[in-house]
Amino acid sequence: MNKVVLVTGANSGIGLALCERLLCQDTEGLQLCLACRNMHRGQAARSALLTSHPEAQVALLQMDTSSISSVISAAREVRLRYNQLDYLYLNAGIMPNPRFDVKAFFKGLFSSNVITMFATGEGILTQTDGVTADGLQEVFATNLFGHFLLIRELEPVLCHADQTSHVIWTSSSNAHRSAFNVEDIQHLRGIQPYSSSKYASDLLSLALNTRYNQQGLYSSVICPGFVMTSLTYSILPSFPAFLWTLLMPLFWLIRLFTNTFTLTPYNGAEALFWLFEQNPESLNPHVKYHSLTSGLGNNYTQPRKMDIDLETSESLYEKLLQLESEVKKKLEEKLK
């Protein structure tokens, strides 16, 4: 039986590396569906995958996770194409207009917190959020809410009594409880929307397990570590990509002290790939699976307990359901 795997944000970085790794492991038993916002980049990614795996089944799906109507029509298309979805990788993500606090960075360098700073980016990054055409905060809509809506819309192909399906979120070690407020789930009043959205995905994953395990749907979260992709290049915009490459020896050195410097998309996709091979029923819903790379360059996956609780995860879930019904009502009115 072919396994059907859908990956959001599959046209670059960690998402594309995951697709490549999945096909390297099994070209014939997989049906890959690359869900991409930009179809030109999606086509390029599909062509690259087919060049190295000409026999593979790789389909494209247009989806902008920040747009309600786009997610709803993409989900409709998935329901038409597939009877069952085995893996849903929720990987698309943004960190818009990042601000790197140079002063806090240098202060952190000479503090006892230096390893945590390099592992999580804590205390040195803030962002300015935008608003989507649907009137939602952009980071929340892209990283979390669009994916939540997608799961809800895909229930018929994800929930089967006789077979399990696995939803896997690309979260981050930058997810902090302090950045999240259940009374402000869209993070309207803060300056760390990225951290808030990733913490919310950790909470949501727990709530999904509570509600859906009995229907065969399991959810897990991973952190890919610090990976050099367009997302990280944008953190220092005046720093061209080749300068990041020049810094690689320094990063390899830092990797001797923190195994979270996975650096390449291939390494960053380790936990995503590892989860593909696990029985979802055997996994712990309270842990995040971290992609790690040792000083010698060996990849492995390590579970680490998350700072989340059931009560907050349930409150978030209720708020997301409420927002879902509001946006759907608005959409129906617009279509009338």
Ligand X SMILES: NC(=O)C1=CN([C@@H]2O[C@H](COP(=O)(O)OP(=O)(O)OC[C@H]3O[C@@H](n4cnc5c(N)ncnc54)[C@H](OP(=O)(O)O)[C@@H]3O)[C@@H](O)[C@H]2O)C=CC1
Q: Which of 174, 192, 259, 262 binds ligand LBM42IJL (CB under 6 A)?
A: 174
Smallest distance, ligand LBM42IJL to C-beta of residue 100, A = 6
Token pair in block for residue 336 = 């009338």
Q: DSSP assignment, residue 179?
A: G
Select from 26, 20, 81, 22 the least CA-distant residue to 47. 20
Active site annotation includes 233: no
Among ligand LBM42IJL, ligand X, none, what does residue 125 contact (CB within 5–8 Å per kind)? ligand LBM42IJL
Could you tell me where the DSSP H helices lie in 224-309? 230-233, 241-246, 248-255, 265-268, 270-276
CA distance 91 to 7: 7
Out of 87, 89, 194, 212, which one is annotated catalytic? Answer: 194
Q: Do 27 and 53 contact (CB within 8 A), yes or no?
A: yes
Q: Given the rule CB under 6 A, which of 177-185, 229-237, 267-275, 326-334 is the region that contacts ligand LBM42IJL?
A: 229-237
Residue 209 within binding range of ligand X, rule CB under 6 A: no
Token pair in block for residue 215 = 């229907």
- Residues numbered 226 to 285 that lie near ligand X (CB under 6 A) are 226-227, 229-232
Select from 179, 153, 133, 27 the least CA-distant residue to 142. 133
- Residues numbered 51 to 90 that lie near ligand X (CB under 6 A) are 63-66
Smallest distance, ligand X to C-beta of residue 325, A = 22
Q: Which of 18, 85, 124, 149 binds ligand LBM42IJL (CB under 6 A)?
A: 124
- Which residue, 32 or 292, is less far from ligand LBM42IJL as judged by CB? 292
- Residue 109 CA: distances (Å) to CA of 98, 105, 143, 253: 20, 6, 30, 15
Q: Within a 13 Å sphere around the CA of 60, how many CA atoms are in the beta-carbon half?
A: 17
Q: Given the rule CB under 6 A, which of 16-24, 41-49, 169-177, 263-271 is the region that contacts ligand LBM42IJL?
A: 169-177
CA distance 159 to 228: 35
Binding residues for ligand X, per CB under 6 A? Answer: 8-9, 11-15, 37-38, 41, 63-66, 91-94, 142, 170, 172, 223-224, 226-227, 229-232
Binding residues for ligand LBM42IJL, per CB under 6 A? Answer: 100, 118, 120-121, 124-125, 172-174, 223, 226, 232, 235-236, 247
